[in-house]
Structure 1
């Protein structure tokens, strides 16, 4: 028994060792270096001087940082729950289709997910162009005139949120569709025999059984949207970037544009703490919901 136990431990070390080493090298070590750099007054590359808590004290009084936190939180509110709800609705719709028609419709929703962000930017910048954008007549129905979406502050973040939901929802749709297909048909047949309506079937059968998939989609989207950068950076080029600043964009500005590596690392630590804290809170809330 002892020899067998040693063999299992040795096999586990051999199999898990490369991953653990790579994980420590690619994640744990850079994280420790980032935290260490946040206590220094240093450029992005090169030696710095010890600054203690100076960067963190500056962070608490930095108005641009507060703006970046607010814009990031606002973007999360606009995308995570609405995007997940839209993905669930589309998955329910696609699940009712059959054969090649289902495959075509599913591909139409998934294709945007594989597009590079630059292609997404060019496509949507063309569609909402003030002079010839194909979406401007739709916008004019609500505003009475064309609107420069990317240069109008109240329109900017909702506009980027719509683009992001359109761009990233394909993966969530696939997850929901896989979850729907794993629900036994016998459960639906039993519910219908008991006289349940379609609404009751959804709330009493589909929704509870899809809850683990919903939590997964919400968690993935939450982490992704807290780290929003590409879309905001591209759509705000030439505009009032300080007003539309998000946290990763502020890290980029401080680190790569101003060569202030110590302060950029401080903002990155703050974002890391926020991502971990919000993710843990969401998972705990999901666990309590499942328990009820």
Structure 2
């Protein structure tokens, strides 16, 4: 009976995840185009990746983007959640809605909003630069400004979900613990360090892991904001796979890059999980 109940899920999971993953690994050892068969080339696709400048740029940009977004975005959301948790009633609901609203926007709308805001010629931000006496900057056409700008936009766009997770964790902490701390005349910092932070660490570890996986697969924002700029300098790993597969018709090399990204995501996620477990044990 149990096998019959589990069988549909196992079948669907195998069809939409296991089989495509196996095929991805198989194609990565061939010189196949995007559509069609190819001949077996062994590890040639993998060997060519490490000597290619565009792949190295994509690998570095992905790591740089993760560095700019994962930890800053997580702790920004935590700080906002702490502030919202102190509010009450309709005001709390209104402020939470303001922070969550960007999360439900499609990436195309996010692109239009920020392209309009940071446009070199007529963007609102550029008029503020003029008032402050700062030279205008073509943000999305400058290699040094591009990744920090997209990272800031990504944090603004995705923080709402993390804020909800942190709020759920904060509301799960029994009020009696804080009342006992208040009776002991514990300071705000001591209460946070000894009560809030240890009890919120599992949620923080979860948000860090989710953000790490999501930001390593960054593509949409980079693709859209690179329009009319220097896309080869702003490459990330998924963008590199897209170029190889859909623009160069090199399915085998695209599959090899996708396998490398898959292994990196799995490896980094496992390491992050182990580090968060060790940190939790140390906090105790």
TM normalised by structure 1 equals: 0.94
Secondary structure at the aligned position of 2:36 is classed as coil
Mapping of residues 5-154 of structure 1, within 5 Å: 10-11=1-2, 13-139=3-129, 144-154=134-144
Counterpart check, 1:262 vs 2:252: yes
Residue 200 (structure 1) aligns with = 190
Mapping of residues 151-230 of structure 1, within 5 Å: 151-230=141-220
Equivalents in 2 of 1:44, 1:162: separation in Å?
A: 34
- Greater shift, 30-39 or 96-105, is seen at 96-105
Equivalents in 1 of 2:249, 2:133: separation in Å?
A: 42
Equivalents in 1 of 2:149, 2:14: separation in Å?
A: 39
Equivalents in 2 of 1:142, 1:258: separation in Å?
A: 45
Secondary structure at the aligned position of 1:210 is classed as helix
Equivalents in 1 of 2:196, 2:130: separation in Å?
A: 39
Equivalents in 2 of 1:32, 1:114: separation in Å?
A: 33
Equivalents in 2 of 1:135, 1:239: separation in Å?
A: 19
Change in 2 beyond 3 A, CA 1:140/1:28: farther
Equivalents in 2 of 1:95, 1:230: separation in Å?
A: 32
Equivalents in 2 of 1:193, 1:143: separation in Å?
A: 52
Equivalents in 1 of 2:242, 2:84: separation in Å?
A: 40
Equivalents in 1 of 2:10, 2:98: separation in Å?
A: 39
| Structure 2 unaligned residues grouped into runs of 5+ | none
Q: Write the deviation string for residues 244-268 of structure 1: whole angstroms up to 9, x where unpaired.
A: 1000000000001111000000000
Q: Write the deviation string for residues 207-243 of structure 1: whole angstroms up to 9, x where unpaired.
A: 1100010011001000000000000000011211111
Change in 2 beyond 3 A, CA 1:139/1:30: farther
TM normalised by structure 2 equals: 0.97
| Structure 1 unaligned residues grouped into runs of 5+ | 1-9
How many residue pairs end up in the alignment?
282
Residue 272 (structure 1) aligns with = 262
The root-mean-square deviation of aligned C-alpha atoms, in Å, is 1.2
From 219, 230, 233, the equivalent of 2:223 is: 233
**Residues 229 and 246 in structure 1, CA contact (< 8 A), matched pair in contact too:** yes
